[in-house]
Amino acid sequence: MTYLPNILFAIIFVTAIVFFSKNVMRLRRNIKLGKDVDVSDNKSQRWKNMAKIALGQTKMVVRPIAGLLHIIVYVGFVIINIEVLEIVIDGVFGTHRIGLNVLGASVYGFLIGAFEILAVLVLVSVIVFWIRRNIIKLKRFLSNEMTGWPKSDGNIILYFEVVLMCLFLIMNAADSSFQGLDTGNLISQHIVPWFNSMSPESLHFVERTAWWLHIVGILIFLNYLYYSKHLHILLAFPNTYYGKLVPKGQFKNSDAVTREVKLMMDPEADPFAAPAEDAPEAEKFGASDVADLSWVQLLNAYTCTECGRCTSECPANQTGKKLSPRKIMMDTRDRLEEVSKVIDANNGSFVDDGKQLLGDYISHEELWACTSCNACVEACPVSIDPLSIIMDMRQYLVMEQSAAPSDLNNMMGNIENNGAPWPFNQMDRLNWAQEQ
Amino acid sequence: MSDTLKVPTMAELFAAGQQPEVLFWVGCAGSFDDRAKKITKAFVKILNKANVSFAVLGTEESCTGDPAKRSGNEFLFQMQAVTNIEVMNAYEVKKVVTACPHCFNTLKNEYPGLGGNYEVVHHTQFLKQLLEEGRISMEGGQYKGKRITFHDPCYLGRANNVYEAPRELIKKLDAELVEMKNCKKKGLCCGAGGAQMFKEPENGSKDVNIERTEQALETQPEIIAAGCPFCNTMMTDGVKNKEKESSIAVMDIAELIATAEDL
Ligand code: SF4
Ligand code: SF4
* Cβ–Cβ pairs < 8 A, chains A and B: 217
Q: How does residue A154 score in pLDDT terms, banded at 50, 70 and 90? A: very high
Mutation choice for B interface testing from A244, A251, A323 by most B CBs within 10 A: A251
Name the CATH code of domain A255-269+282-424 (choices 2.30.30, 1.10.1060, 1.10.600, 1.10.287). Answer: 1.10.1060
Mean pLDDT of chain A: 93
Domains of chain B: 10-129 (3.40.50), 137-260 (3.40.50)
> Does the structure show a pLDDT above 90 at A188?
yes
ipTM for the complex?
A: 0.95
Beta bridge partners of B95: B119
Q: How does residue B1 score in pLDDT terms, banded at 50, 70 and 90? A: very low
Ligand 2 probe mutation, A60, A300, A310, most atoms within 8 A of CB: A310
Query: What residues does ligand 2 touch, defined as CB less than 6 Å away?
Result: A 304-310, 325-326, 329, 379-380, 382, 384, 386
> Does the structure show a pLDDT above 90 at A281?
no
**What Cα–Cα distance (Å) separates residue A101 from each residue in A1, A12, A104, A170, B102?**
25, 26, 6, 22, 66
Which of 382-401 (A) contact B at CB < 8 A?
A: 391, 393-399
Q: A396 contacts in B (CB within 8 Å)?
A: 72
Residue A32: what pLDDT? 97
**pLDDT digit string (tens) for A332-375?**
999 999 999 999 999 999 999 999 999 999 999 999 999 999 99
Average pLDDT over residues B144-165: 97
- Write the secondary structure of chain A as one string of H (helix), E (strand) and C (coil): CCCHHHHHHHHHHHHHHHHHHHHHHHHHHHHCCCECCCCCCCHHHHHHHHHHHHHCCCCHHHCHHHHHHHHHHHHHHHHHCHHHHHHHHHHHHCCCCHHHHHHCHHHHHHHHHHHHHHHHHHHHHHHHHHHHHHCCCCHHHCCHHHCCHHHHHHHHHHHHHHHHHHHHHHHHHCCHHHHHHCCCCCCHHHCHHHHCCCCHHHHHHHHHHHHHHHHHHHHHHHHHHHHCHHHHHHHHHHHHHCCCCCCCCCCCCCHHHHHHHHHHHCCCCCCCCCCCCCCCCCCCCCCCCHHHCEHHHHHHHHHCCCCCHHHHHCHHHHCCCCCCHHHHHHHHHHHHHHHHHHHHHCCCCCCCCCCCHHHHCECHHHHHCCCCCCHHHHHCCCCCCHHHHHHHHHHHHHHHHCCCCHHHHHHHHHHHHHCCCCCCCHHHCCHHHCCC
Q: How does residue A313 score in pLDDT terms, banded at 50, 70 and 90? A: very high
**pLDDT digit string (tens) for B66-118?**
999 999 999 999 999 999 999 999 999 999 999 999 999 999 999 999 999 99
Q: How does residue A296 score in pLDDT terms, banded at 50, 70 and 90? A: very high
> Does the structure show a pLDDT above 90 at A257?
yes
Q: How far is B227 from chain A (nearest CA, A)?
A: 15
- Which of B83, B111, B98, B133 is closest to B22 using CA atoms? B98
Q: Could you tell me if A404 lies within 8 Å of chain B, comparing CB atoms?
A: yes
**pLDDT digit string (tens) for A13-60?**
999 999 999 999 999 999 999 999 999 999 999 999 999 999 999 999
Residue B4: what pLDDT? 83
Mean pLDDT of chain B: 95
Q: Measure A285 CA to ligand 1 centroid, in angstroms.
A: 22
Residue A277: what pLDDT? 58
**pLDDT digit string (tens) for B24-46?**
999 999 999 999 999 999 999 99
Mutation choice for A interface testing from B2, B32, B183 by most A CBs within 10 A: B32
> Does the structure show a pLDDT above 50 at A428?
yes
Kindly identify the ligand whose nearest atom is closest to the C-alpha of A321. Answer: 1
For the CA of A305, the closest atom of ligand 2 is: 7
Q: How does residue A274 score in pLDDT terms, banded at 50, 70 and 90? A: low
Helix ranges (H only) for chain B are 10-15, 27-32, 34-49, 66-71, 74-90, 101-105, 123-132, 164-172, 208-218, 229-241, 253-260
Average pLDDT over residues A138-149: 88
**pLDDT digit string (tens) for B164-196?**
999 999 999 999 999 999 999 999 999 999 999
Residue A406: what pLDDT? 95
